[in-house]
A = this chain, B = another copy of it.
Amino acid sequence: MYLDHTSAVPVDERVVGFASRYLIHDFGNPSSLHSVGLEAKRGLEDARGKVKELINAESPATIIFTGSATESNNLAIRGTALRNKKAGTKVVSSAIEHISVLNPMKELQKRGYTYDVVPVSAEGFVDIDVLAETVTRDTVVTSINYANDEIGTIERIREISRIVHENGQYLHVNATAAAGRIPVDVQKDGIDLLTLSSNDMYGPRGAAALYVREGVKVQTLLPGGGQERGLRSGTENIFAIAGMGEAAAIAGQEMASEGPRLRKIADAYLREILTIEDAHLTGPPAGRLPGHLSFRFDRIEGESILLNLDTAFGIQVTTGSACSSRTLEPSHVLLAIGLKHEEAHGSMIMMPGRSNTLEEIPYVVDAVRKTVERLRLITAM
């Protein structure tokens, strides 16, 4: 029973059905001038239009396809900072950004940029007052996640946008966890650069996008054939891109029904799991991603919970930062919301997805309860 949709998501069968023709039949290079190339080009532009729709971008030309959310984040942060050096050499992020935001920031720091980190509340909300003090005229890029994949917090992006634009230059928003799950509107939200991931929307890996508001100048990080308006060279991965487009369309259509369904599942889990002794919710009780559940249990390790649930019950969850969970370091997100090292180690993240149901809950809750009790017994020995 897979409950780890923050780490990886299966591709929706409808997406596979839609996009697989681009593997064997319409596999052309969109730069080729013949009919096979033009068919691929058509698929590429169709996908661009669908992604534009999902986030209400002003035009398809604002959507740049890349190979991964990591690449989109790098392009948004390093590409924009390097291209707009004259506007300032300061960059800012919150303390709970994804590692593919934090590390590009640190890379800029090595190159002489000033990098400031804005703290968050105990529920993961960016401290608006500190943000207003930190972002100054020479702050060229401020990067804040739309929603946090570890503790589920949905940031107040419109307020953040107002403050960033009153004081500094460009706002980059990593919407990897949010896009396709909750409404994202780059125009109403006031976003200059936005990262979207295909796989988080049940599309294939190998595609992601960066929304670049008209007029924002970005420097490429991958010089080459000049595809994607010169911002991302390399023959377009049309299977993954077409799949991402279709995934965006499906997510847009089903968000209004799927969101409440996942919230209902999460609420039921929450009620049950918090009855386990010394179990705590991390992140906010309200204002979270639909379906997102993050807990911590006193006196046991998240890693042990994960392994026991997997081997003894066939249930997959995650702990700490999904993408670097092999490192065994405590999550920087949990430390940033004020947890102690030992508290941060006891984290368990569950993220039900399209295939999960209310009916599974009793089995999963029972497994979690037994796992926690068993691990505490071992620890106490």
Residues of A that sit less than 8 Å from B by CB: 2, 4, 7-11, 13, 16, 20, 23-25, 27-29, 31-37, 40, 67-71, 73-74, 99-100, 103-104, 106-107, 199, 204-207, 221-227, 233-240, 303, 306-307, 309-311, 314, 316-318, 322-326
Question: Can you name the residue of chain B whose Cβ is closest to the Cβ of A36?
Answer: B316
In the complex, which residues of chain B have a beta carbon less than 8 angstroms from the beta carbon of A29?
A: 4, 7-8, 322-323
Question: Can you name the residue of chain B whose Cβ is closest to the Cβ of A232?
Answer: B70
Copies in the complex: 2
B205 and A205 form a contact (CB under 8 A): no
Question: CB < 8 Å: which of B10, B235, B325 contacts A33?
Answer: B325
Q: A67-B68, A226-B324 are in contact. Are A316 and B32 (CB under 8 A)?
A: yes
In the complex, which residues of chain B have a beta carbon less than 8 angstroms from the beta carbon of A16?
A: 20, 23-24
A68 and B235 form a contact (CB under 8 A): yes
What is the bound-complex CA distance between A68 and B27, given in angstroms?
16
Question: CB < 8 Å: which of B28, B73, B199, B234 contacts A70?
Answer: B234
A70 and B322 form a contact (CB under 8 A): no
B8 and A233 form a contact (CB under 8 A): no
Question: Can you name the residue of chain B whose Cβ is closest to the Cβ of A221?
Answer: B221
What is the bound-complex CA distance between A322 and B36, given in angstroms?
13
CB distance from A229 to the nearest CB of B (A): 13
CB distance from A349 to the nearest CB of B (A): 11
In the complex, which residues of chain B have a beta carbon less than 8 angstroms from the beta carbon of A238?
A: 205
A316 and B35 form a contact (CB under 8 A): yes
Question: Can you name the residue of chain B whose Cβ is closest to the Cβ of A236?
Answer: B205
B24 and A9 form a contact (CB under 8 A): no
Pairs A–B under 8 Å by Cβ, sample size 17:
A4-B36, A7-B37, A8-B29, A8-B235, A20-B20, A28-B316, A31-B324, A32-B318, A33-B303, A33-B310, A34-B307, A35-B310, A71-B222, A205-B237, A205-B238, A225-B324, A226-B324
A36 and B2 form a contact (CB under 8 A): yes
The 7 tightest CB contacts between A and B, nearest first, are: A206-B206, A100-B224, A67-B67, A103-B223, A70-B234, A68-B234, A8-B29
In the complex, which residues of chain B have a beta carbon less than 8 angstroms from the beta carbon of A307?
A: 33-34
Question: CB < 8 Å: which of B23, B68, B225, B236 contacts A99?
Answer: B225
Q: A33-B303, A224-B73 are in contact. Are A239 and B323 (CB under 8 A)?
A: no
CB distance from A265 to the nearest CB of B (A): 20
A31 and B234 form a contact (CB under 8 A): no
In the complex, which residues of chain B have a beta carbon less than 8 angstroms from the beta carbon of A2?
A: 36
What is the bound-complex CA distance between A326 and B227, given in angstroms?
10
B67 and A224 form a contact (CB under 8 A): no
Question: Can you name the residue of chain B whose Cβ is closest to the Cβ of A321?
Answer: B225
In the complex, which residues of chain B have a beta carbon less than 8 angstroms from the beta carbon of A69?
A: 234
CB distance from A361 to the nearest CB of B (A): 19
A234 and B4 form a contact (CB under 8 A): no
B40 and A11 form a contact (CB under 8 A): no
In the complex, which residues of chain B have a beta carbon less than 8 angstroms from the beta carbon of A222?
A: 70-71, 74, 221
What is the bound-complex CA distance between A71 and B225, given in angstroms?
11
CB distance from A77 to the nearest CB of B (A): 10
A7 and B28 form a contact (CB under 8 A): yes
Question: CB < 8 Å: which of B8, B34, B221 contacts A32?
Answer: B8
In the complex, which residues of chain B have a beta carbon less than 8 angstroms from the beta carbon of A35?
A: 310-311, 314, 316
In the complex, which residues of chain B have a beta carbon less than 8 angstroms from the beta carbon of A33?
A: 303, 306-307, 310, 325-326
In the complex, which residues of chain B have a beta carbon less than 8 angstroms from the beta carbon of A13?
A: 24
In the complex, which residues of chain B have a beta carbon less than 8 angstroms from the beta carbon of A207?
A: 206
